[in-house]
Amino acid sequence: MNFLAGSEPEPHFDQLYRELILDHYRLPRNNRVLEPADADLTQFNPVCGDEVRLTARIRDGAIEDIAFVGQGCSISQSSASMMTEAIRGRSLEDASTLASYFRAMILGEDVDEAAMGDLMSLQGTSRYPTRVKCAILAWDTLQKALGGTSGREDVGSSDPDSGG
């Protein structure tokens, strides 16, 4: 058999790994570094080493262009990819609002599905507490980047990956 060949979907699998997530994971959108950029921030999830670097160009209070590079699990990378699509061209205020909606959704709250669009595909993550940080990493980076932070830092300080 071919180890990496396809098979029929599974209910468990499909709740978390929606087809749209896998699609963004395999073919990440806006997957590059913008140079020059008005905002440039890299953040890590120290638990698993997920990494997202965001670069953005800001014009007249709006996100003219945004791109990401990074490495990590399907949730963290697809989330970053979808985020760049969702916020390009939006005002900083809109982007910030969407970020708070996204955070609310991942923490299990009801949100306006129409406003979320494709981002709804990540809602399943809310049932997996260990994956919440994966989904939020890109949005966290965005909020910090637009808040003026730049450089590299870790998201959160706790590290459950102990016990070696």
Q: Please report, as ranges, the residues that interact with other proteins according to CB under 8 A.
A: 1-7, 9-10, 12-13, 16-17, 22, 26, 47-51, 71-75, 128, 131, 134, 161-164
DSSP helix/strand/coil, 42: strand
Beta bridge partners of 161: none
- The C-alpha atoms of residue 87 and residue 62 are separated, in whole angstroms, by 9
β-bridge mates for residue 104, sequence order: none
Cβ proximity to other proteins: between 13 and 149 the closer is 13
Q: Is the peptide bond before 36 cis (omega within 30 degrees of 0)?
A: yes
Residue number, 9 or 89, with CB nearest to other proteins: 9
Q: How near is the Cβ of 59 to other proteins at its closest, in Å?
A: 34
Least distance in angstroms from the C-beta of 6 to other proteins? 3
CB of 142 to other proteins, least distance (A): 21
Instruction: Decide: 29 and 21 in contact? Cβ < 8 Å.
Output: no
Q: Which is nearer to other proteins, 27 or 115 (CB)?
A: 27
Q: Which is nearer to other proteins, 12 or 59 (CB)?
A: 12
41 burial level (CB within 10 Å; 0-12, 13-18, 19+): buried
Nearest to 103 by CA among 138, 54, 74, 147: 138
User: How is 101-142 classified by DSSP, letter by letter?
Assistant: HHHHHHTT----HHHHGGGGGGGGGGG-GGGHHHHHHHHHHH
By beta-carbon proximity to other proteins, the closer residue of 17 and 139 is 17
Q: How far is the CB of 134 from other proteins (least distance, A)?
A: 7
What minimum distance in Å lies between the beta carbon of 122 and other proteins? 14
